[in-house]
Structure 1
């Protein structure tokens, strides 16, 4: 087990969680996760609810009659998913972790809604944000620094 931390974009909602040595990270393609994240899939990692400690309780959205999703009402960050009853587990969004690079997807869920064109993007042109001068100029003009890894 390793303790990891994460949170939302604005920092208002933070968590720590014990992650097992071989965590089950996956991509969820179900329409609920697509709509909740505004994306073609949502990278999640399964954890025990009892292993999650919130510095500040997140806001909760009851996304269906059977489940709810933690999020930050200030910045809108999606933080996860849990069933209302019958499970000691929940999922946290991989991107909300301070170091999401430790997770590797092991499966796909909601396969009926996979947008296959977005699965393998190998070979598409890539551009780093720190090398995109127009973006860097906007940060400088705002008197701020861009987010880093």
Structure 2
């Protein structure tokens, strides 16, 4: 993993961040607390490590999820953004504009892994537009999600 500057943010664009320098360890956690915080089977996090973190638009809200840790999220859209514990601050991998740049290298909390997680790679796959029952609906969608890059303002102003 190498990085000079990585940016990211929430789904609605109200909160954006920039990480400058080399982040720390990237991991997934299967513990029940991370599952509930992400509403998913695991939460991928990358430690800020020695990098410098700047919140470039807005600030996360915080929920004290345990005696030792708090979790940052966007107050407007609910996107999970951060995990702050005694060993340091970590950011949600999937909140990065280019999440593959901070791909996880280790898994924690495996005692909480759901019994079906290991079977996910073996599930039948298809692209979104290969579902004939959904094509007409999917082709009409207009995304209001912030794009995967920094913007001067958001939402963008129509001229």
TM over 0.5: yes
Kindly indicate whether the alpha-carbon contact (under 8 Å) linking 1:30 and 1:109 is maintained by their aligned counterparts in 2.
yes
- Return closer, same or farther for 1:49/1:137 CA change in 2, 3 Å cut-off: farther
- Return closer, same or farther for 1:135/1:16 CA change in 2, 3 Å cut-off: farther
Q: Distance in 2 between matches of 1:27 and 1:2?
A: 23
Query: What secondary structure, in the 3-state scheme, does the structure 1 residue paired with 2:120 have?
Result: coil
The two structures, once aligned, show a CA RMSD in angstroms of 2.6
Aligned match of 2:30: 29
Query: What secondary structure, in the 3-state scheme, does the structure 1 residue paired with 2:125 have?
Result: coil
Aligned match of 1:65: 67
Q: Cα distance, 1:92 vs. partner? A: 0.7
- Return closer, same or farther for 1:146/1:14 CA change in 2, 3 Å cut-off: closer
More strand by share: 1
Q: Distance in 2 between matches of 1:110 and 1:30?
A: 5
Kindly indicate whether the alpha-carbon contact (under 8 Å) linking 2:10 and 2:81 is maintained by their aligned counterparts in 1.
yes
In structure 1, runs of 5+ residues without a counterpart are none
Q: Within 5 Å, which residues of 2 pair with 1:30-109?
A: 30-48=31-49, 51-55=52-56, 56-83=58-85, 86-87=86-87, 89-109=88-108
Q: Distance in 2 between matches of 1:74 and 1:97?
A: 18
- Return closer, same or farther for 1:73/1:146 CA change in 2, 3 Å cut-off: closer
Kindly indicate whether the alpha-carbon contact (under 8 Å) linking 1:139 and 1:146 is maintained by their aligned counterparts in 2.
no
Query: What secondary structure, in the 3-state scheme, does the structure 2 residue paired with 1:125 have?
Result: coil
Q: Distance in 2 between matches of 1:79 and 1:107?
A: 19
Runs of 4+ in 1 over 3 A off after TM superposition: 130-136, 139-142, 145-149
Q: Distance in 2 between matches of 1:101 and 1:60?
A: 26
Q: How many residues align?
A: 144
Q: Cα distance, 1:121 vs. partner? A: 2.5
Q: Distance in 2 between matches of 1:130 and 1:2?
A: 36
Aligned match of 1:20: 22
Aligned match of 2:155: none
In structure 2, runs of 5+ residues without a counterpart are 149-159
